[in-house]
Amino acid sequence: MKIGEIFEQKKKEGRPVISFEIFPPKKEEALKNIDETLGLLCALKPDFISVTFGAGGSAVDNKTIEIAKKIKNNYGTTPVVHLTCLQYDREEIRRLLDQLEEAGIDNVLALRGDVNPNVPTKHDFRYASELVEFVKSEKDFCVSGGCYPETHLEAPDAVTDIRNLKKKVDAGVEHLVSQLFFDNEKFYSFYEKTRIAGINVPVEAGVMPVTNRAQIERMVHMCGASLPPKFERILRKYENNREALLDAGIAYAVNQIVDLIAHDVDGVHIYTMNRPAIAKRICDGIKNLI
Ligand code: FAD
């Protein structure tokens, strides 16, 4: 099923889309357990599951498509395949799109990716919008894109970033998924700006349950999400108590999602970090809201 159709359906029902994100495990051992992870995640009945794409990896041998096929064929859940473009040329992307079509996958999250010092950047695509145009000219996929409530780290300012986002939507993006954030007010303000800019596609709010301090520091460094004082207080108080931080991180994520749903957001995208037990606790916490 195409993501655009899922949003239309959910809108008619007056309910938010709830989706998950997973990544292909790097370690062989974890990859062997992926079926169990997928089984548990799909049992929670997300509207779709997106699978990240290791930028710079082999285009042919990428585990992303294998996992997306399992999600669709073994569990009947709609998959979305992330695709990045900086390290690939048109021919390589075309081959990936052929593979997706053969696998019966309908949805692609088109991303630029980041420069990887170990893998040369190719020059067919400079921005995600160029990948979006290319995918749309080749195939009939539903194409999603990424967006940044607190502005992309390389953008000179928020207005320029939103103008660039509009170009991406004009190129054919039908749905946006936001970078993670911990302060819902940032998302509401960003959402309003997208509407003022004439961006009318659904925007899903990205929520990541934080379960350890190292993880959050890495994330903040990578994506520039700001930490509200109440969140910092939790980190400070429980940083040396794993179990307590896990409880507090899940409670914070549930709280964020309750507020997002009360604000009638289009959808919530949960960065599951491949941890179904955490996803389950979050879903249990919102089961009567969705
Ligand atoms: P773009 O939309 O191309 O934007 C990148 C920068 O270029 C921005 O600063 C933008 O303002 C600017 N820009 C855009 N268009 C123009 C233009 N026409 N002229 C001038 N400037 C322009 N990375 C992975 O490697 N694998 C993944 O699976 C993955 N999944 C992600 C999922 C989500 C939901 C998100 C939000 C990000 C994900 N990323 C992933 C990270 C992403 O690749 C990086 O954030 C990357 O730096 C930007 O990607 P983009 O597609 O948003 O880029």
Q: Which residues contact 70 (CB under 8 A, 6 or more apart)?
A: 34, 35, 38
What letter does residue 50 receive in the DSSP assignment?
E
**Ligand 1 atom 45: residue of nearest CA:** 113
Residue to mutate, 127, 134, 150, 161, ligand 1, most ligand atoms under 8 Å from C-beta: 127
- Confidence at residue 130, expressed as pLDDT on a 0 to 100 scale: 98
79-89 pLDDT tens trace: 999 999 999 99
Ligand 1 pocket list (CB less than 6 A): 52-53, 55, 82, 84, 111-114, 127-129, 146, 152, 154-155, 161, 164, 167-168, 177, 179, 206
**Ligand 1 atom 2: residue of nearest CA:** 128
Relative to the CA of 83, which ligand 1 atom is closest?
28
- Confidence at residue 217, expressed as pLDDT on a 0 to 100 scale: 86
Buried b (16+ CB within 10 A) or exposed e, 253-269: bbebbeebbeeebbbbb
Q: Which of 183, 99, 108 is nearest to 143 (CA)?
A: 108
What letter does residue 116 receive in the DSSP assignment?
B
- Confidence at residue 55, expressed as pLDDT on a 0 to 100 scale: 67
Residue to mutate, 164, 218, 222, ligand 1, most ligand atoms under 8 Å from C-beta: 164
CA distance 136 to 76: 25
For ligand 1, the distance from its centroid to the CA atom of residue 111, given in whole angstroms, is 5
For ligand 1, the distance from its centroid to the CA atom of residue 127, given in whole angstroms, is 7
**CA end-to-end span of the chain:** 20
- Confidence at residue 225, expressed as pLDDT on a 0 to 100 scale: 93
For ligand 1, the distance from its centroid to the CA atom of residue 223, given in whole angstroms, is 11
135-157 pLDDT tens trace: 999 999 999 999 999 999 999 99
**Ligand 1 atom 42: residue of nearest CA:** 113
For ligand 1, the distance from its centroid to the CA atom of residue 45, given in whole angstroms, is 28
50-60 pLDDT tens trace: 999 986 665 55
For ligand 1, the distance from its centroid to the CA atom of residue 113, given in whole angstroms, is 6
- Confidence at residue 61, expressed as pLDDT on a 0 to 100 scale: 59
**What are the residue numbers of the active site?**
21
198-213 pLDDT tens trace: 999 999 999 999 988 8
- Confidence at residue 26, expressed as pLDDT on a 0 to 100 scale: 84
Which residues of the chain are under the pLDDT cut of 70?
55-61
Q: Are 139 and 101 in contact (CB under 8 A)?
A: yes
What letter does residue 117 receive in the DSSP assignment?
T
